[in-house]
Structure 1
Amino acid sequence: MYATVDDMLARYGEDVVYPLADKDEDDTLDEEVAERSLNDATGLMNSYLGTRYSLPLLEVPDLLTRLCVDIALYWLADDAGGATEEKRQRFEDAIQWLENIAKGRVELGLDAPTDDEPGSPNDDGMVFTSAERLFSRAGLERY
């Protein structure tokens, strides 16, 4: 995961997090609920980051921790009926950052696979390559 419950508490404080992650209403933080939300946020983030970086990341930049917390907190708030305009905006900003990372407009400062390499090994040491595209818009534009 890109963030922990402690990261969430450090960023927003107990007054914000506890009411959203207290599903059984016993005035205590349900850590499983908060961790599930962070895990869901990590999955969403991986769908964007996996287009540019080999996952799992060996190093987690602080920006990704912040984005993960913002996404998870919005989902917690939305589930609890307490999603505010501010939380929604933070969520949308996080998604925009992730889209920009996926499109290569923003770099995380991590090693990303280059386009020059025909393939890169996965965790099993296997390399996948494919032939050059036979049909493309440029190749078919005169038809």
Structure 2
Amino acid sequence: MYCTKEEVRGMIKDDALNVLIGNEYIDDPDERELKIAPIIEGAIADAAGEIDGYLAKRYPVPLSVVPKAINKFAKDIAIYNLFSRIGIDESEKDKNYLNRYNAAIRFFENVAKGMIDIGVSGVGNTQKASAAFSAHSSPRRFSRDSMRGM
């Protein structure tokens, strides 16, 4: 996964939890957290799958080291996934979720096209690195055997 449940939960205001959970109002905060946890985990898993779909063109997925940009966009996609479950009103404050999602998708499309390098080793990076650096040296003139007796 490219982000944690705690990171995504931290981006959701408490007053939005009941709306995201569904048709029932839950007054108890602990019960609300128990109900929202699997919903957030599902949104994160969906976001990771979507991200892997773009990254797989250039990098082995899932990434073992997660760059900060990937973490940020993973949270944005997960939040969008959560709010899109209940419908996103483009004329209201929900439009922010859609805008952030669209920015994330544009980023990943550019990564897939090779226009953006995320700084982890992968197919594209390995080929560039090996072509950019090589070392050559002269043959060895002296060795222990050739210096013996001098």
Q: How many residues align?
A: 116
Q: Which structure 2 residue ranges, 5 or more long, are not aligned?
A: 128-150
- 52 and 20 in structure 1: CA distance in 2 versus 1, 3 angstrom threshold: farther
Match of 2:104 in 1: 94
Q: Which structure has more helix as a fraction of its residues?
A: 2
Partner Cα distance (2:19, 2:68) in 1: 23
Q: Is the 8 A contact 2:55 2:112 kept in 1?
A: yes
TM-score, normalised relative to structure 1:
0.71
Q: Is the 8 A contact 1:20 1:77 kept in 2?
A: no
Partner Cα distance (1:35, 1:50) in 2: 22
Amino acid at match of 2:63: L
SS in 2 for 1:105: coil
Match of 2:2 in 1: 2
Match of 2:65 in 1: 59
Identity fraction in percent: 28
TM-aligned CA deviation for residue 19 of structure 1: 3.9
Structure with more relative contact order (C-alpha pairs < 8 Å, separation 6 or more): 2
TM-aligned CA deviation for residue 66 of structure 1: 1.1
Q: Mark the structure with the bigger radius of gyration.
A: 2
TM-score, normalised relative to structure 2:
0.68
Partner Cα distance (1:86, 1:21) in 2: 16
- 80 and 25 in structure 1: CA distance in 2 versus 1, 3 angstrom threshold: farther
Amino acid at match of 1:102: A
TM-aligned CA deviation for residue 15 of structure 1: 2.9
Partner Cα distance (1:26, 1:39) in 2: 25
SS in 2 for 1:6: helix
Q: Which structure 1 residue ranges, 5 or more long, are not aligned?
A: 118-143
Match of 1:35 in 2: 41
Match of 1:18 in 2: 17
Match of 1:113 in 2: 123
Provide Cα deviations, 1:32-53, integer angstroms capped at 9, x if missing partner: 0110011001000000001010
